[in-house]
């Protein structure tokens, strides 16, 4: 029973190992490219936003049409899809300004909502006698960062691209390291299986 299982694991390992290595190398390449060529990376990022809006909009439209017989408010999904397609087309027409403006506004709104929630939580903590200073400070910092993001779009875009590059590099290193860890585990299993077969004989 152990030998067929080990063979299956080895076959799975061969497929998984190459996938992990290739994914890791691709992520590293993306991270290094973003750091080395920031202007080209920002332009590519704008295209990704436009095409993603188009793709998700088309998917939502198709899904809405499929839901017509079973859902009364299918038109809400249809409207969402039409908005997505409209934004995608406009983002390609006004490339790259509209996509990059959307990214900046999205980050600013996220920071603003985080700040408002943080300050609200701090006021609630204060009302029930819990420590609230750090929560309030983080909320105020998020609100300030939101205003800075809107007032300094280039810095916001640079921060976004830096996060993308950092995430890609970390994910790439983790995938490659994981692939080699997997190789060592499978080799250890293979050695144990060979020793077990020798003892059986």
> Residue 124: inside a domain, yes or no?
yes
Residue 56 forms part of a structural domain:
yes
Range of the domain at 80: 19-200
DSSP per residue over 96-137, as a string? THHHHHHHHHHHHHHHHHHHHHHHHHHHHHHHTT---HHHHH
Give 18-27 pLDDT, tens digit per residue: 777 888 898 8
Buried b (16+ CB within 10 A) or exposed e, 89-124: eebbeeebebbbebbbeebbeebbebbeebbebbee
Looking at per-residue pLDDT, the higher value among 9 and 139 belongs to 139
> 40-54, 127-141, 176-190 — which is least confidently predicted?
176-190
Mean pLDDT, rounded, of the chain: 85
Domain membership of residue 12 (yes or no) is no
Asked if residue 6 is part of any domain, the answer here is no
In a domain, 2, yes or no: no
**What's the confidence (pLDDT) of residue 196?**
52
Is residue 5 domain-resident?
no
Report CA 40 to chain centroid distance, whole Å.
20
Our count of domains for the chain comes to 1
What is the rounded CA–CA span in Å between residue 51 and residue 101? 15
Q: What is the pTM of this model?
A: 0.72
**Is 121 within 8 Å of 142 (Cβ atoms)?**
no
Q: Would you say how long the chain is, in residues?
A: 201
């Amino acid at each position: 029973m152990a030998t067929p299982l080990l063979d299956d694991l080895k076959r799975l390992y061969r497929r998984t190992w190459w996938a992990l290595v290739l994914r890791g190398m691709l992520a590293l390449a993306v991270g290094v490219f973003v750091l080395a060529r920031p202007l080209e990376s920002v332009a590519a990022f704008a295209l990704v936003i436009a095409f993603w809006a188009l793709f998700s909009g088309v998917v939502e439209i198709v899904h809405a049409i499929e839901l017509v017989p079973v859902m009364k408010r299918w038109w809400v999904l249809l409207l969402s899809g039409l908005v997505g397609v409209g934004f995608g087309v406009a983002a390609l027409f006004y490339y790259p300004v509209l996509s990059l403006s959307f990214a900046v506004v999205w980050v600013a709104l996220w920071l603003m909502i985080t700040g408002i929630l943080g300050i609200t939580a701090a006021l609630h903590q204060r009302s029930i006698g819990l420590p609230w200073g750090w929560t309030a400070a983080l909320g105020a910092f998020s609100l300030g960062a939101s205003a800075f993001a809107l007032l300094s779009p280039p810095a916001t875009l640079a921060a976004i691209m830096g996060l993308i590059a950092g995430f890609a590099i970390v994910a790439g290193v983790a995938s490659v390291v994981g692939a080699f860890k997997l190789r060592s585990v499978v080799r250890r299993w293979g050695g144990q299986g060979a020793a077990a077969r020798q003892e059986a004989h």
